[in-house]
Structure 1
């Protein structure tokens, strides 16, 4: 260990690339893990005064969308029994329903949060909400409104996470949307519900979010009851035990952290999207760290060949050489980790604010101290650094003692046996995936395309020493008559391993940039063509800042609503959930659901509706889409909405709806999803480019520094500093060009395979979209960093002589 410490202390420049790579990797992991661990589900604030919550039994499908409900009668009877238990002050059912405030005929607030914004007045006690003005609602058409709703309203397109965090449609992020008119007791308010626009009499305001109507009105509007809240006195655990005994198999009793499972779906979705980005950053950070450390250590071992040979000559065993290199890497990794982990944790709050601003975390999200993230990131940094240096230590331990007596500028052997074996195998695996992609299921094709590209990129990197020679000869041919061109060409061909080490990270970065951005753009084009083909060339009526179309909006067009509801269907011992549209005279199953249940036309299945009611229904048919009679949807899911309708005539203006050409609507939907995808791409490509910068810069810095004797010989032969700079700059640009060409070629081949598979699926020709802008930007960044890293040692040496 003492020898390793002395080596690190006196030759730290040789370990700079490893240090920076591990530092960045640990910082990324530490910051991402801190954000991830800080972003955990939380029970809605409206249940803050209910330490015990009772919910219906969990569905057996494993899908969180299949949350069961009690009917109003079942919930009322169960609440009465729970309310009589010792220690229970009140047992209050909370049947929520959809409602949004209208301002100048436009729906306000977040449409998804609005789905659970209506509540019975009795449920206000679960959050300890109190009247700030007026009285409680007593009749149909009366409402108590949360103070946030009564003061302000967010226009369409406002901040969704802010509204979701408050559990209301009218929460306002600072500076988002115009101010709405104040609503006080004695005034009226325009709202939009599942039936259509309504005018409600405001009887009071409350110091909490939401709309509160009479208990009977809430039960009539809601699609069943999914929560009964218990306010308690005394020992909460005793109440939990008594409630569990009373409920039995007809419900689930939740307390403590278990209550967090009731976090609204709109917030959970925001957290899930943010978590996917954080997981991707951690995974890519760990992979890139291994990649950079491996490349850096391999080049360092090659440059230290004589030094390691000398150690072998004086009696060092292969095991001692391996242990010394592991010790060196461990010291550098620990030092980098101990600095990087706090740096990442310190940057987490800044990233947290940014994630809230772009909708990847809910409003109110705060970053908390997470010591597990710091310790784990340091240990992970040490692990990936040791994983990266493994191959280099194995090769270094095999260096013969006689190598201490040799000195040659040419690489001893650019292609190892492992490269000869693994390179062709990766190429064959990638080609096989591309060839078989059209036969894969649709949901597997994008993963198969990415897997094929990864295999081909690995193949190109492994075989790059072989590919570099003909590429360099071809590219350098026009300049072979000049002295600089000849030196660049011969220096590159002599140092094939050096060029391959520089080209490999550029190859991976350019390849991933072209592949990821090109795949997304190509699939977006295909999705637009495919979705548009499903509908006639006409205008459609679609939601305008709402989660769906109300019954009144559909009726105003003279059309029949296509209400969408979610059903739980049981056949035999199998239960599955799925969406069904209200139409026809009987139950029609879609092909996937029928396959899951093992049912066919003529079978009788048990259907559980959104409100908790059950019915035995025969299966009339199995078709592409599921449907159920409209009257059953209206009866059991009064909150159901229509997603859109195709217009036959000019649209009649109605609140919460707008008319657009079908192609415009499809492209809007695709672009909305594309914004999140673009954000993911920006983060992933940015991180990849950062690691490439480290790898390229460190590789050229180490290689150029090690070539001092060669450059001194050039100066003795009459070359000036400018000529030496032109030589090293030419070599650096040549290495970047080779890497970019190989990476781009591999990505385009993979993209062509993805496009062919998508064309086969939709039966139409689509354009192959190549992201020239992002590719050029990444390549230019690599070139600029390569020039800087290559020129720095030359200029420093020139200043030293002067």
Structure 2
């Protein structure tokens, strides 16, 4: 190790590229990992004074692997809250029904739309956050509210799921949110999922007692377990940020290995004479390998020690931009993470040793005399190991691409990226095979000119140098074209598909809100769907389904049941008078009669299942066969019906969003989007906080609060653009990282190579070449290396994009146009060329005087 340290000290310029690559890689990994570990789920602020929380029971997981919960009905929650309040040590037990409410200013919705979905709460739940009145009194009647920042007696304009409303502020509270009377909150929310406890003694003892009271009807969480109650919208935001950070770590490590490997390979090639002399005086292959490992390890330690503080100090500065970009929730801060720094340091060592491994083994295997002979000219660019690994990587990448159309959609993106990495690795390893014919082809028109001949022959006898320079360019161009091309193709395809699904020329869409209120929907002439989430018990399990409430006429058409004239007229505008009547009835009577709080999920209402006798089974509170048959039961699409084992006439055990359990008849099995359709009035009755996504207009639009009309293509493009903005941000960060590494690798490789060619430049000067001519020679060689890398990277990206298109065509059973990002590819190539020209011109100009002195 001491000898390695001395070698690094005296020849640090030769290790500069490795040093910077490791420092940059460790900084990226340390910063990204610090941010990732700092971004952990947190319990909502409104539970800050409640060390013990009881959540509604889980019934399994959804399609994304997240827990699926069933709500307590209002009566279930009230009963369980009362029993929990009697537990010794409990000061306050309060249910926390949450509902949609958004403040209006000048008729426009304000604040975060997604956060507004659960911004309304019962007044009693304010105690769970330690919030107290600073002025006024608690709300007691409908239309009264306690909020922060408004004095008692003032009036505020809000938007709820029903529509705009004017509320009177009765009290000023010291915490965020809208707090209304408890009975009002229960009528406006789809059931209750959390009951909080404030305690005056041992929280652990209270939690244990609470578990005995709740039994199977609830899950008691304390300590860090409370963080699992983080709102879904916040968790989704954290997930987006995590994807970018994981991509940064993975791509940073992958590219760093390329840079270190190419740098070490070129360094070993330039040190053949030195290594040959060591072998001649008795050094064994093992000693040569250990020397190169030790040198690289010394440089890696120095680079890591330089990169760690950069990453640690930069991470906190990125918190604000990440929040602004929607990749972290509001209030996110970066904290010190020693584990992240340790992991980044260890990864730096692994990357460095992995990069030097091939170069060290190859250098150590050369006999002393062969090494001395090869010092003058490269005799073999390809080794058996390089052939085997390169060919194997190419075969693996092609095999993955060939199976891509037959893979599940959920794994296609990962498989496509894996194939790309394999093919890029193969292209880098097999580059020397392609370089010779490609250089001959490109330089053919200038083969007779003096400079052209020098460029041609100088490149052909220095294939490894060209390969080392072109490898990072290959990687950058390949990733850029592949990522941008894939995203552009998918976005173009998604826009056309989504627009084709919407037959209307104009839609009314949310304007600064998460959805449309009933008032906005009632004002329009058109059709709409009210989304909700329901649970269906089958085969001893309970599964969650996305469902939609549709007007009676549309439901009757889907179910194949003749609709009555009254049902048709009631739903002219996409909801109907019955929607309003059912909403008023719900607000008057409250939720449906509950089951006992201690009852398990599969209670008496769920005893029936698919295939049960139908008779006159109730369907959403309506008896099948009466005068309202057009608005009863449910419609399943064939896939959902197969999963449930249901047919037309079967009865399924359904639990609504508010926790009410019913046995509902399958009115029909037919194509449905989503896979389950329900009468709109039933959905509104059981999910009073649900919001309509959009209204497909059949007439002129009418102005409404929180809504605006737009062409269908523009409506589709909004969601595509929202996702596209995040994707563009991801691409910009990842491509910038890759281009930065590429510039580093190209500059380092050419600086090392150009500096080592000073004797060659002196010979050219002695032969009469001017400094300008020498510059043109080395510049042409650099550009040629960039062209080779661009050609190989573009070839790999084109093959991968073809595989992605084939997979999309197999899934959609129709041709898919391929979008090639020519602009992005040209920009990245130009950047690489500029870096290459600067890296070659610098050493030539710097040593001009020395070259002139040698010529004289």
Q: CA deviation at 1:617?
A: 3.0
The aligned residue for residue 58 of structure 1 is 58
Report matched runs for 1:183-194 at 5 Å: 184-194=151-161
Deviates more, 1:115-124 or 1:429-438: 429-438
Report matched runs for 1:702-717 at 5 Å: 702-717=752-767
The aligned residue for residue 13 of structure 1 is 13
Determine the C-alpha separation between the residues in 2 that align with 1:600 and 1:278. 47
The aligned residue for residue 621 of structure 1 is 669
The aligned residue for residue 539 of structure 1 is 506
2:256 is equivalent to residue 289 of structure 1 = yes
Partner of 2:196: helix, strand, or coil?
strand
- With over 3 angstroms needed to count, the CA separation of the structure-2 counterparts of 1:503 and 1:704, relative to structure 1, is same
Determine the C-alpha separation between the residues in 1 that align with 2:344 and 2:260. 16
Q: CA deviation at 1:471?
A: 1.2
Deviates more, 1:683-692 or 1:64-73: 64-73
Determine the C-alpha separation between the residues in 2 that align with 1:236 and 1:76. 22
Report matched runs for 1:760-799 at 5 Å: 760-762=810-812, 765-799=815-849
2:762 is equivalent to residue 739 of structure 1 = no
The aligned residue for residue 657 of structure 2 is 610
Identify the match of residue 589 of structure 1 among 636, 652, 660. Answer: 636
- With over 3 angstroms needed to count, the CA separation of the structure-2 counterparts of 1:714 and 1:113, relative to structure 1, is same
Q: Is the 8 A contact 2:509 2:709 kept in 1?
A: yes
List alignment gaps of at least 5 residues for structure 2. 556-631
Determine the C-alpha separation between the residues in 1 that align with 2:103 and 2:509. 18
Report matched runs for 1:667-706 at 5 Å: 667-706=717-756
Q: CA deviation at 1:408?
A: 4.8
Determine the C-alpha separation between the residues in 2 that align with 1:278 and 1:352. 12
2:10 is equivalent to residue 43 of structure 1 = no
Report matched runs for 1:441-460 at 5 Å: 441-460=408-427
The aligned residue for residue 32 of structure 2 is 32
CA displacement, residues 276-301 of structure 1 (integer Å, 9 cap, x when unaligned): 11111011111111111111111211
Determine the C-alpha separation between the residues in 1 that align with 2:519 and 2:379. 80
CA displacement, residues 351-388 of structure 1 (integer Å, 9 cap, x when unaligned): 11211222211222111111111111111111111112
Q: Is the 8 A contact 2:647 2:669 kept in 1?
A: yes
CA displacement, residues 738-776 of structure 1 (integer Å, 9 cap, x when unaligned): 111221122123223323443454455554322222212
Q: Is the 8 A contact 1:101 1:189 kept in 2?
A: yes
Partner of 1:415: helix, strand, or coil?
coil
CA displacement, residues 641-678 of structure 1 (integer Å, 9 cap, x when unaligned): 21112110001111111111111111121111100000
Number of equivalenced pairs: 767
Deviates more, 1:302-311 or 1:330-339: 302-311
2:693 is equivalent to residue 646 of structure 1 = no
The aligned residue for residue 215 of structure 1 is 182
The aligned residue for residue 156 of structure 1 is none
Determine the C-alpha separation between the residues in 2 that align with 1:631 and 1:106. 28
Structure-2-length-normalised TM-score: 0.86
- With over 3 angstroms needed to count, the CA separation of the structure-2 counterparts of 1:241 and 1:446, relative to structure 1, is closer
Report matched runs for 1:287-686 at 5 Å: 287-559=254-526, 561-583=528-550, 584=555, 585-591=632-638, 593-594=640-641, 596-597=643-644, 601=648, 603-619=650-666, 620-621=668-669, 623-624=671-672, 625-686=675-736
Q: CA deviation at 1:606?
A: 2.6
The aligned residue for residue 141 of structure 2 is 139
Report matched runs for 1:61-80 at 5 Å: 61=61, 63-64=65-66, 66-80=68-82
Determine the C-alpha separation between the residues in 1 that align with 2:372 and 2:441. 36
Determine the C-alpha separation between the residues in 1 that align with 2:303 and 2:654. 59
Q: CA deviation at 1:730?
A: 0.9
- With over 3 angstroms needed to count, the CA separation of the structure-2 counterparts of 1:274 and 1:633, relative to structure 1, is same
Partner of 2:773: helix, strand, or coil?
helix
Q: Is the 8 A contact 2:87 2:210 kept in 1?
A: yes
- With over 3 angstroms needed to count, the CA separation of the structure-2 counterparts of 1:514 and 1:341, relative to structure 1, is same
Determine the C-alpha separation between the residues in 2 that align with 1:655 and 1:492. 69
The aligned residue for residue 98 of structure 1 is 100
Q: CA deviation at 1:618?
A: 4.1
Determine the C-alpha separation between the residues in 2 that align with 1:212 and 1:414. 74
Determine the C-alpha separation between the residues in 1 that align with 2:197 and 2:339. 35
The aligned residue for residue 752 of structure 1 is 802
Q: Is the 8 A contact 1:548 1:644 kept in 2?
A: yes
Determine the C-alpha separation between the residues in 1 that align with 2:327 and 2:413. 24
Determine the C-alpha separation between the residues in 1 that align with 2:334 and 2:459. 50
Q: CA deviation at 1:556?
A: 1.4
- For the aligned residues, what is the CA RMSD? 2.0
Q: CA deviation at 1:418?
A: 2.5
Q: Is the 8 A contact 1:409 1:495 kept in 2?
A: no
Q: Is the 8 A contact 1:555 1:561 kept in 2?
A: no
Q: CA deviation at 1:478?
A: 2.0
Q: CA deviation at 1:602?
A: 5.3
Determine the C-alpha separation between the residues in 2 that align with 1:65 and 1:191. 32
Q: CA deviation at 1:589?
A: 3.5
Q: CA deviation at 1:487?
A: 0.5
Structure-1-length-normalised TM-score: 0.92
- With over 3 angstroms needed to count, the CA separation of the structure-2 counterparts of 1:20 and 1:602, relative to structure 1, is farther
The aligned residue for residue 166 of structure 1 is none
